[in-house]
Chain A
Amino acid sequence: MFLVFILAGMLFSCQKKEKVNILKIGLPEEPKSLNVWLGTDTNSRKILSQIYQPLFTRDPKTLEIIPWLAKENPVFDKEKLTYTVKLREAKWSDGSEFTSEDVLFTKKIFFDFKIPRHYSQWKAIKKLVTIDKHTLVFYLEKPSAIFLSRVLTAPIVSKKEWGKIAADALKSEKPLRYLQNHSPEKHLGTGPFTLFEYRKGAYLHMKRNPHFFGTGKTIANHLLGPYVDSLLFKIYGTNDIAMLALKKGDIDMYWWDIQPGYIKDLKNDSNIQLFFNKKSALYYMGFNLRKPPFNDKALRQAIATAIDKEFILTRILQNYGTPMHSIVPSGNIFWSNPNVRKYGEGLIPYSHIKEAYKILKDAGYTWEIEPWDVAGNIVEAKGLKLPSGILMDKFVILTPPADYDPKRAFSGVMIQEWLRKLGMQAFARPMAFNSLLETVKGKHNFDAFILGYGGLNLDPDYLRTFFLSENDKPNGWNMSGYKNPFFDKLAQQQKSIVDDKERRKVIWEMQKILMEDVPYIPLYNPHIIEAVSKKEFKGWVEQVNGIGSIWSLCVVKPKN
């Protein structure tokens, strides 16, 4: 019996070698849903982004917005507040023609169902008119800075695929839920691949779309294929097994951010190639500015200074990342302001505490036992008193648990230790992620917390979302309760500046204000680490957020 299994295995291994033009990709989890209106999780998006395409996308190198399903850059009419968009000659995966009617239909879906994430962006459109089969005019209520980056980058769906479902859904009691609960049998897309077979719990098979508009065209300096016949997505329950599968040759790529602990082993394997790229992510410490003592800017600045970001980078991130000094990640080269106030940069551990002590002392804080003795030696500080003379209470830094994110959990513990050196009674407390979010975002019942965003949009409008005064409400995005009228004014102003260079000046100013007021202390930005097998394929496209993108899948080629 045992021999039969082994023989079967050997037989299968032989069969596998015949199919070299199938790109085998490992995924950490199954996609939640292949319904484009429900499948918003990372793994579903990996599949759906190969099928449904936007009008515009980002150049992988420059990160500028470039035409994708659109033929050329849009023409903006300042007087009429219109954008005229010309479409490419493209086809849906069933061979039918892609026209401006499909864009119009997509807009109708966004509006009729108030599709989460899209409707809030598209409602800036007053009117959408089709001039001909390949020309559209978007009429706006007012100028919108995010029109290109957030509105025109939404996926366009086919009227043929969704028309009847949408009509039925509108007649139902809960239209959006009806639409989201629909299981598409045949996806119609304009992307490089189409879904061929999905065997739940086992694999997902995509085939090259023969009607892909990009085939043979050079876009963003890449001559697009796809050059592989099909994609085969396999699911692996743990990263350990996925790594073994990659080394064994069961998969050509593992589409997931690898933990630094695997790197040494993977580097020793000559068949494995590793990629390290910057991530559009923000990991930060936030305060509750609604109550004392964290409503004191000096205290927040002192805490920011006491944190040794270099230590976090070298010891916790094992040097695979960068310390963050602004809310906009440095990888977002156009929007990130490099000239913000950088707390504790270049200081040695001893100096962090010294500088933080100075800030507190200048602001009127006192100690029962100061962190320095008369000889200038560091000592265990005790009893930090607020400028009012009241003893500072103990406080809690909420973090996700170590099994959810060890980096954030361990950063919390380290910050606790540094703050204790300043005489603060800080306690890092891991909390289940759901509870943590409910406490911080829903109830606002906290002192400080460490959270992060792993996939920030490259447009920095989130600065407005995170810190606008009016977003300080239960479940609103202004979790710290930051209120600054001048910042609010800038945040609203930048929304309507269409000229990117002009807008950047405001965005930079906003970052400067935030780093002066420090409602959040940006901590670190880990690199995205990805691994591929060098045996069969080459030509991966590196960009911010890694090689796992439609660009790589359109460009990667078999070696032979």
Chain B
Amino acid sequence: MRIKKYIFNKVIEITIIFFIILTILFFLFRLSPGTPISKMVDPTFTLEDQNLLIEQLGLDKPALEQYFIYLKNFCTGNLGFSFHYGEPVSKIILERLPWTILLFTTSTILAAFVGVMLGKIAAWKKGSAIDNFLSISALISHTLFIPWFALLILWFLGFKVGWFPLGGTLSPEIWITEPSLFVKLLDLIHHMFLPLMTLFFIHVGSYLLLMRSSMLGVLKEDYIITAKAKGLTEKSIRNKHAAKNAALPVITSVGLSLAFSINGGALTEQIFTWPGIGRELIFAVSNNDYPLAQACFLLIAGVVLVANLIVDLLYAYMDPRITY
């Protein structure tokens, strides 16, 4: 019962926070310099044209009136039309989101899994050559500058050696010939390899270091000494007793990273021409495409709030000492 009450209270709290974010976002965009037509620097675009477009976009009304219209539409599931694309915002997000989830969620899960495994080994073998090698590699990976590393990988594996395509999600030359599903799938994986590899290398280090430091803390606990005294095997102590408890902070980190992964990564998406939501978000903000930018931010806010709740609940499941 107590957990149900906790969830109920948390949902109310999340809803209030969400609407506060929505309101702040709405007015923040209206206060930012320029309008959606600011960048139309074409002398044939007359003042009358500008006024007509502002009126057609509904931006001639007072901000408060615009806000209530937006709120009403939002509550009915209408996110509006993108000023720039002239398409429903929900359609644009639904087109972009799967690409971001596919790449960023896959890379986060992969990096977290490998990071936890290697972090566990590094902590267990603290001070050994393996630990030194893994820790230094993780530090290098953690501090890699994404654009530089991505460009380097593309230049070497995509151009110099030529094994992989130079960005994008598919090979147009193949897709226009209407190939089989298998070929399409293979082509997609082929295109996904380099961005996935880049993101994996960049994220794996932080998970490794996090797991290693958490595990080192746990290894000093009394119950580990007790386990050793009981004569349990090394594997059993490491995996069942230490790693399970040490993984708690990693779960928080992975949970939040997964939530933020729908935000994509503008730089990675830009360099690999990956048509995800990160590029779209940057574009929408820089072009004052209010409906699209607001919807992207709200999506991120919503997912992060929900992910927080899920992480809280997972904690209780993983650690019986935590109750609500």
Contacts and interface: CB of A to CB of B under 8 A. Distances in A.
Interface in B281-304: 286, 288
Interface string A432-469: 11110111000000000001010111000010011000
B177 A35 contact: no
A116 B172 contact: no
B221 interface: no
A180 interface: yes
B173 A241 contact: no
A217 interface: no
A117 B45 contact: yes
Interface residues of A, number: 72
A211 interface: no
A40 B86 CA distance: 12
A238 B271 contact: yes
Contacts of A177: 56-57, 81
B173 A19 contact: yes
Interface stretch (A244-252, A305-313, A361-369, A496-504): A244-252
Given A120-B49, A477-B43, A244 B158 contact: yes
Interface in B15-70: 32-34, 38-50, 52-53, 56-58
Contacts of A114: 48-49, 52
Given A9-B162, A202-B169, A205-B172, A237 B193 contact: no
Interface string A183-208: 10000000000000101111101000
A244 B159 contact: yes
B88 to A, nearest CB: 8
Interface in A204-244: 205, 232, 234-238, 240-241, 244
B213 to A, nearest CB: 31
Chain A residues touching B, majority SS: mixed
B168 A202 contact: yes
B166 A117 contact: no
Contact of A438 (B38, B42, B174, B177): B38
A150 interface: yes
Interface of B: 32-34, 38-50, 52-53, 56-58, 81, 84-87, 95-96, 99, 151, 154-155, 158-159, 162-177, 186-187, 189-190, 193, 269-275, 279, 286, 288
22 contacts: A5-B189, A5-B190, A5-B193, A6-B163, A9-B162, A15-B173, A32-B85, A33-B84, A33-B86, A116-B45, A117-B45, A180-B56, A181-B81, A202-B169, A235-B168, A237-B272, A237-B274, A244-B158, A248-B158, A435-B33, A438-B38, A477-B43
Given A8-B190, A117-B45, A232-B173, 5 more contacts: A116-B53, A120-B44, A176-B52, A201-B95, A241-B151
Interface of A: 4-6, 8-9, 12-13, 15-16, 19, 22, 24, 30, 32-33, 35, 38, 40, 114, 116-117, 119-121, 150, 174, 176-177, 180-183, 197, 199-203, 205, 232, 234-238, 240-241, 244-245, 247-248, 250, 432-435, 437-439, 451, 453, 455-457, 462, 465-466, 471, 473, 475-477
